[in-house]
Structure 1
């Protein structure tokens, strides 16, 4: 048996522990493991008539080259954002399948977010053995309560917000902290709650400045230290605006300034208070994984190999109500995962609300 591994989309802490777990679990069964570089891009860059391209875009994974990687952030396999069905020149699914067949890869384990796993589901629909592993710091893959990378992103955000308080207080301003989260505001909601910020604007609820700004003004004035903190999801918008599209573009490719900047400008213009504007951005996904993302990465890796051994292909790994499980690989195609606003968010106060605790899972959603 020979299995392949790739990572696609944005990097997150916890990918390397999962890669190590998959590799060691497979080696314990006497299998071979090959890692493909740069996600689906690596397979497209392989020319079967040119062995050098195979060496440049794939390599064998053994005990030595996965030793210690669980302590590292990012992914040793590197990554890309690419769907082989949408490249210049048309659908290249056949090329991917030909490469896998030529290299003797019997099954693939794919680690990625919505984009990467959509193509995984496509391969599975064609009969190719695939097990997919959800990862994204936004935690927005439909079909699982948890994605690798989410806990570390929240922890990084809480730490940064807490540190930023010293500067914000010293200058007696309003801090505006923008966090990643295009479609879902879960990262901002949970980080804002754990850091006990004054207000949080999430992607699911437009910010009405006529309501939000007086609240921030009162937050600052009622604080003996004379400052306030606002957290906002990058995918949020102001009431009356059209929600931003194309947020997967790099920052330099976007034509408009981000929501954090627009909110800070409105705060200064309409309240007269100075602001401290901070986009955490890639720092949320930088560095080593926390304990939870290591644990989930290890567990998902072991489960992926168990499913392949049992020939239970076409599955996406998941955490549901605190338990490890798996769902059909195309589950993510059939819904959208966003914050349950009615249960977890006060639209008028721009704050998390905990209406019910008993029976809720650990992350309160």
Structure 2
């Protein structure tokens, strides 16, 4: 058996533990494992007819190569954001298939978010042996309660938010802290709750500045240190403003207009005498080594993926449901979208997490 492993989309802590787990589980079975470099984009750069190109397209994942990588953040296989079906040259699915054949790949394990895993499901529909592993710090892949990288993103965000309190207090300002989260506000919701920030604006609920601003002004007034904290998802928007849906799909450098954190801060300063601090945590949320949760889930997801291949159960995605590891069909993520349960977890009038009903809720409140 010859396995190939690929990581796509944004990097998150926990990918390397998963890669190590796959490699060591395969080694115990006497299988070969290669890592495809730079995600789907890297696969498309390979010339299947060129031996040199094939040799440099993959990394041999033997025991020595994966030793100690579980302590590292990011992915040793590097990554890219690419769907081979929507390139400037058109649909490149056949080239991907030709490259996998040239590399003599019997089964493929892909780690990614919505984009990477959608193409993985497409390959499975064409009869390829594919197992997908959900990873995204937004935790927004439908079909699983947990994605690799989410816990570390929350941990990093809470640490940064609490660190910014000293600066906000020193200057007696309202701090607007923007977190990643294009379509799901779960990362902002939990980071705001765990750091006990004053208000949190999530991607699912537009913010009415006429309601939010008085709340923040009162938060600052009631704080003996005279500051307030507002957490906001990057995909959030202010009520009455033009939609940002098309722009949010672009990289930061290609977006037109102001990000939501700056928009909100400008409104605060325009409508009140208060000054603001604007901080985008951005890539710092997924920088550095994984926390204990993401190491555990990374190891477990990797081992489960190899078990599924051994049992001939391809075309599946590994998942966590109600605290238990499990499996769902690989195309499950195509059936719906995942975001915050607003009615159950969020008070849209107060811009705060609403966690009054705890009994029976899973640990990460999904």
TM-score norm. by structure 1 comes to 0.99
Q: Which moved more, 1:206-215 or 1:52-61?
A: 52-61
Would the aligned equivalents of 1:236 and 1:243 in 2 still touch at CA under 8 Å? Answer: no
Q: Which residue of 2 aligns with 1:339?
A: 340
CA distance in 2, matches of 1:146, 1:242: 32
**Residue 204 of structure 1 aligns with which residue?**
204
What residue is the counterpart of 1:17 in the other structure?
17
Q: Which residue of 2 aligns with 1:359?
A: 360
Question: Which residue is 1:48 aligned to?
Answer: 48
- Note the 1:43-192 alignment, pairs <5 A: 43-192=43-192
Other-structure match for 1:309: 310
Match of 2:241 in 1: 241
Aligned partner of 1:328 in structure 2 is: 329
Q: 1:55: how far off?
A: 2.3
Residue deviations 1:69-89 (CA, integer Å, cap 9, x gap): 000000000000001111122
1:143-184 Cα distance to aligned partner (Å, 9 max, x none): 100000000000000000000000000110001000000000
Q: Is the aligned partner of 1:288 residue 2:314? A: no
Partner secondary structure for residue 85 of structure 1: helix
Q: Does 1:253 align with 2:254?
A: yes
Q: Distance in 2 between matches of 1:122 and 1:18?
A: 23
Q: Structure 1 segments of 4 or more deviating over 6 A?
A: none
After superposition, give the CA deviation of every residue in 1:276-310 in whole Å (9 maximum; x if it has no partner).
Answer: 11000000011100000000000000000000000
SS at match of 1:269: helix
The size of the alignment, in residue pairs, is 365
Unpaired runs of at least 5, structure 1 = none
- For residues 2-55 of structure 1, the C-alpha deviation after alignment (integer angstroms, 9 at most, x for no partner) is 010000000000000000000000011000001100111121111122122112
Shift of 1:248: 3.2
Separation in 2, partners of 1:264, 1:155:
25
**CA contact under 8 A between 1:131 and 1:316: conserved in structure 2?**
yes
TM-score, normalised on structure 2?
0.99
Question: SS at 2:188's partner residue?
Answer: helix
Contact 1:141 1:147 in 2 (8 A): yes
Q: CA deviation at 1:242?
A: 3.3
**Partner Cα separation in structure 1 for residue 89 and residue 184 of structure 2:** 33
**Structure 1: how far apart are the matches of 2:320 and 2:248?**
27
Determine the structure 2 residue equivalent to 1:298: 299
C-alpha RMSD over aligned residues: 0.8
Paired with 1:242 and 1:180, the residues of 2 have a C-alpha distance of: 20
